[in-house]
Structure 1
Amino acid sequence: MTPTHLPGRVAIPSLPEQTLTPPSPNALETFNSTTPEEAQHLLLACLRSLRWARRVADHRPYPTMDALLAASDEAAYDLPPGDLTEALAGETTAVLPAGTYSAAHMALDAANAAYEAKFGHVFVICLDDSPTEEALDHILEGIRSRLTNDPEEERVVAAEELRRLARGRLGELLGGAGNGATSHNGTAPGT
């Protein structure tokens, strides 16, 4: 079975660096004018939490991209445990770029397995500030470091990483603003 991947920043940036592109006002206007269902569907591609998607969609129209991103952040901060579990279940394990040496795959697989065994969900990390060539090191370091967390502490950290991922994905989806993060094709839940 092939795992589906969320669009946007899913842990491993692609190798070529992309330049930042300012958000398109037309994309925001289009988002503001879509039906609530279409907006929710679009938002679920960024974070697979129905509560988050509904809350962000229900507060449209947004005058600026910054206002939309602030609303996304606020909605993500307020996710109750069940919705956080739903969002984490929608994430997938990081995929290494083609050509990555096999020892890296083994190390990442082992670290992910230990993490999932302890916390019951995939490891999520936003690498927006990490150089592409250091992504694997940051992921492995993050997993090892976070394995020392207790489950409640890790849920707080994972929730913050999901918030950052959703913000980056939303920026890419509506504005094309990216930092070289891998985009994957997948469908939102319930579609």
Structure 2
Amino acid sequence: MAHTLTALDAFNSRPPDEARKELIACCASRAFAGGVAERRPYRDLDELLAAAEAAVKGLEWGDVLEALAAHPRIGERAGGGSREAAWSRQEQSGVEDEVREALAEGNRAYETRFGHVYLVCATGLSGARLLARLRERLGNDEEGERAVVRDELAKITRLRLVKLLGGER
């Protein structure tokens, strides 16, 4: 029986620069992309997802900020034709027009308080729920919020890796 080349097989066999480029679409930190690409080959999607989560959680804060810089504000539509922009528009599809202004105000307050974009895994959440989470997180101290940001970044990265490799999770 012949072995069929899977998306993971293709990812594992890509030249390092191509693998890093694909990983940047999932988490826009060069340290993340380099670290995960270096550890190839992965036996299965679960091994890749575990490595990606560990890599996100292990990023220096400057590397997290690099990844955050690629994310549009919640409630704003990502422009352009890149894979990341399309994924962002899909992830934020639950944001209703009537909450966009409140989200814009919340984003400004959050950025003033923490110095970076409010990041949340928006997939499946309504605009109202995203706004409620933003308001809750404004009460976090800096260290607590950094932990939440890492968790949210790991969730987004996981979803995007599954999309990249055509898996269902």
Measure, in 2, the Cα distance between the counterparts of 1:52 and 1:154.
Answer: 20
CA change 1:144–1:78 in 2 (3 A) is same
Deviation at 1:118, TM superposition (A): 0.9
CA change 1:174–1:147 in 2 (3 A) is same
**1:99-178 residue pairs with structure 2 within 5 A?**
100-101=96-97, 103-128=98-123, 132=124, 134-177=125-168
TM-score (structure 2 length as normaliser)? 0.81
Letter in 2 for 1:76: V
Aligned length: 150
Q: Partner residue of 1:11?
A: none
**1:1-191 residue pairs with structure 2 within 5 A?**
26-94=6-74, 95=76, 97=93, 100-101=96-97, 103-128=98-123, 132=124, 134-177=125-168
CA change 1:34–1:162 in 2 (3 A) is same
Give per-residue Cα distances to partners, 1:2-48, cap 9 Å, x unaligned.
Answer: xxxxxxxxxxxxxxxxxxxxxx9611010000001000000000001
Give the alignment's Cα RMSD to 1 decimal: 2.1
Measure, in 2, the Cα distance between the counterparts of 1:39 and 1:51.
Answer: 13
Measure, in 2, the Cα distance between the counterparts of 1:100 and 1:161.
Answer: 21
Point out which structure has higher relative CO (alpha carbons under 8 A, 6+ apart): 1
Letter in 1 for 2:164: L
Letter in 1 for 2:105: A
CA change 1:99–1:114 in 2 (3 A) is closer
Letter in 2 for 1:113: R
Provide structure 1 residue ranges, at least 5 long, that are not aligned to the other structure.
1-23, 179-191
Provide structure 2 residue ranges, at least 5 long, that are not aligned to the other structure.
77-91
Deviation at 1:177, TM superposition (A): 2.9
TM-score (structure 1 length as normaliser)? 0.72
Measure, in 1, the Cα distance between the counterparts of 2:7 and 2:133.
Answer: 34
Letter in 1 for 2:22: L
CA change 1:100–1:56 in 2 (3 A) is same
**Greater fraction of residues in helix:** 2
Percent of pairs identical after alignment?
41
Letter in 1 for 2:152: E
Residue pair 2:12, 2:42 contacting (<8 A) in 1 also: yes
